[in-house]
Amino acid sequence: MKPLLLRLVLVGGLSAALYYAIGALPGSGSLELDALVGYLVGVVPLAILAWLVAGRPLSPRFLGITTAAGLVAGLLLSGAGLFGLAAPFKIVAAVSAGCLLAMQLDQAWILFLIAVVALFADTWSVFAGPTKAVVEKAPGVLDYLLIHFASLGTGQPGVALGMSDLVFLGLFTAGCRITGLRTRASFAAMLGSFLVTFAITLTTRRSLPALPLLGLAFIFVNADLLWSRRPRRHAKDLV
C-alpha cells in the first residue's frame, strides 16, 4: 500500500498546486472561459486520484481509513476556506466510500437499478428537493459538500462537483470491476459525462445535476452486458 499512498500524496499535491496556480494566472476576461479552463485543468488530477482508488482491488480496511481520514481533513480544510487543499482529500474520501458500497454488490443488474434511481433522485433533489433547499437557505453548507475548481485569474472557486457525484463514480467503477463489466470504458465515459454536464451548465447558466448523465453513461457503455445479465425467471419457477 505504500506505493499507492505515495502516488495519492503526489497527485493530491499536484491537484492543490494546480488549483492555486490557475488562480494566479491572468484571466481571459470571460467568466465562462475562465471557469472552463480551471475545470479542464482540475479534472485531470481528479481523474487520476479516482482511478488510483477505484481502478484496483483494495481492502475494506484501507478504503475505510481513506474515507474517514479524507473526509475529516477535507471538511476541516473547507471550513478554513482552503478549498484547493481540501479538494484531493474530498475526492479520495468520496471515491473510497463508493468503492466500499460496491463491495456489497455482486450482480451487475443491481448497478443498473442504482443508476436509474440515482438519475431521478438527483434530478428531483437539485430542482425541488434537499439540494435546492440547501442552496436557497444555507448556501454556506455547500462549501463542505462540494469539490471546487479554481477559476482562471480569480483565485476564487469557480464551478464544483458534489462529493456525492464522486461517490457514484467510485461505486460504478469498482462495481464494473467486481461484476465483470467494462471498467475502463465506463470510467472514461463517466468522466466525459461530467464535461458534458459542465458544458450544458455554462451554456444555460443554470446549475445542473451531474448524476443523470453519469448514470446514463454507465448504462450506455454496458447496455449489452446489463441486458444479458438481467434477472430471468426459469420455466420451472412459472409452474
Q: Does residue 97 contact residue 162 with C-beta atoms inside 8 Å?
A: no
Domain range summary for the chain, segments of one domain joined by +? 2-229
Q: Does residue 71 contact residue 93 with C-beta atoms inside 8 Å?
A: yes
SS3 state of residue 190: helix
Going residue by residue through the chain (239 aa), what tens digit of pLDDT does each one get? 678 999 999 999 999 999 999 888 888 878 888 888 888 999 999 999 999 999 999 999 999 999 999 999 999 999 999 999 999 999 999 999 999 999 999 899 999 999 999 989 888 888 877 777 777 777 788 889 999 998 888 767 778 899 999 999 999 999 999 999 999 999 999 999 999 998 888 888 777 889 999 999 999 999 999 998 877 765 455 44
- d(CA 117, CA 122) in angstroms, rounded, equals 8
- d(CA 167, CA 205) in angstroms, rounded, equals 25
**pTM for the model:** 0.92
pLDDT at 234: 52
How many other C-beta atoms lie within 10 A of the C-beta of residue 56? 12
In Å, what is the CA distance from 138 to each residue of 41, 122, 133, 134, 153? 29, 18, 8, 5, 27
Query: Which grid coordinates belong to 211?
Result: 448524476
pLDDT at 23: 83
pLDDT at 204: 83
Torsion of CA 122, 123, 128, 131, to 10 degrees: 40
SS3 state of residue 149: strand
